[in-house]
Each structure stands twice: as structure tokens, then as C-alpha cells.
Amino acid sequence: MSMLTPPGMGGKYRITGDKYPRMRRGRSRSRIVLAVVASVAAIGLIGWGSFQLVDVFTGGGKASAAGSGAADCPKHPSASPTPAKAAAKLPAPAKIKVNVLNATTRGGLAKDTADELKKRGFAIGDVGNATKAYDKKVKGVGILLGAKSASDAALPVLGTQLAGAELKTDTRAKPAEVDLIIGKQFKALSTKADADKALAALTHPEPAASASPSCAP
């Protein structure tokens, strides 16, 4: 009888070969792992719920709602008057003396231009040909020349009458006396309607629009 034959079984049942039945390990380890994972998840849910309750009772929700409302509040432009700093300094056309000088080879431009400016209320000074410094050297429509102090007074007012003219200053002492030097591209003064519109915009600028919130808590 083989030593592997269980007692009492005689020789009927024998274990032969080199393979033996193996005992399966219990499932206790996998159950422990699952239990640990479930516990961690439960603790996390409990902590999150506690945080939400604290946030509600301490007013955190209200603060968030207020902040969101302020951020989402639509803004609409509202009229906010902008002071016209230069408007108070601008002289009337009658206070501006204009010397009309022709720097082109076309005759009669200075006189015709001076007559039109006079009709529009400007005082007229010298009328004739441009000086040697500018004669036949002005390529654009013209140059408006005056004292430095006229750069924000008489010159822009006269500039409303000739769109595209170049503004320049010199060392003269009379801010109310300026030169209109007619250039090669000159055809005519701006139409009276356009000049009046430009002058009105210069002396009475429209208030600027600024954005301000239109909703309140």
C-alpha cells in the first residue's frame, strides 16, 4: 500500500502522478480592500456635505450670488458731459484777422478766397502773393500759419473753412492774426454748410458717453 493511500480505503483509491490538489485562499483580502475603499468614499462624501452646510449657514452662498450678479450686470452708456477746455478760448471769426496769400501760379485765388471768408464773418488783412519762403512750395491745399498761442485758438477756427490744411506756427506776436497760404491742390474753401458744421462741433463738442451699470442690488 502506498503511503499516500488514506487509511481505511485499502488499495481502491490511490493518488498517483505528481500533481496535488491545491487549497484556494479565502476571499478575505479582497473584501478588506473593498471595505477600505468604501470607507474612504463615505468619509469624503460626509466631509463635502459638511462643507456645503457651513458655507450656507455662514452666508457664502449670498456672497457668491452677489458677486455673480455684479459681474453679470449689463452696462449701458450714459451721458457724461466732458468739459470743452478749448471751447472757452476759441475766438469768434470776426475776432480773427486773416491774411490770404497765394502760393500758386493761378491768379485771382487770393482775392476770391478773401471775399468768401469775409462773407463768412472773418476779418481780412493782406491779400496777395505768398512770401518767398512759401511761394510755389506748398504742395497741399494750403497752410494756416500763426503764433504758437493761436494753435488752440484762431488756427483751428480758421481750419474749419479749409479741410486738409496744414497748421503751422511762427514767432509772431499777434495771436489773432493768421495767414492762409493757398497751395497747389487748392480748389475752393469748404462749403459753408460743412464749415458751419465743423465750427459748431469745435465750439460745442457733444458730451462723451461713458459706461455705467444700470442694475442695482
C-alpha cell belonging to residue 55: 458655507
Q: Average model confidence (pLDDT) for the chain?
A: 77
Identity of residue 47 = G
What is the chain's percent helix, strand, coil content, to nearest 5?
A: 35, 20, 45
152, 124 in Cβ contact below 8 A?
A: no
CA 151/CA 169 separation, integer angstroms: 7
Task: Give the model's pLDDT for residue 66.
Answer: 46
pLDDT confidence bin for 205, thresholds 50/70/90 = confident
Task: Centre a 10 Å sphere on the Cβ of residue 177 and count the other Cβ atoms it contains.
Answer: 18
Q: What is the mean pLDDT of residues 187-196?
A: 97
- Residue 40 has a pLDDT of 63
Which whole-number Å values give the CA distances from 102 to 47, 93, 137, in the listed order? Answer: 89, 21, 11
Q: What pLDDT score was predicted for residue 72?
A: 55
210, 80 contact by CB (below 8 A): yes
Kindly state the cell numbers that stand for 85. 477746455
State pLDDT tens for residues 86-141: 455 799 999 999 999 999 999 999 999 999 999 999 999 999 999 999 999 999 99
Helices (H), 2-101: 28-57, 60-72
Contact (Cβ atoms closer than 8 angstroms) between residue 128 and residue 101: yes
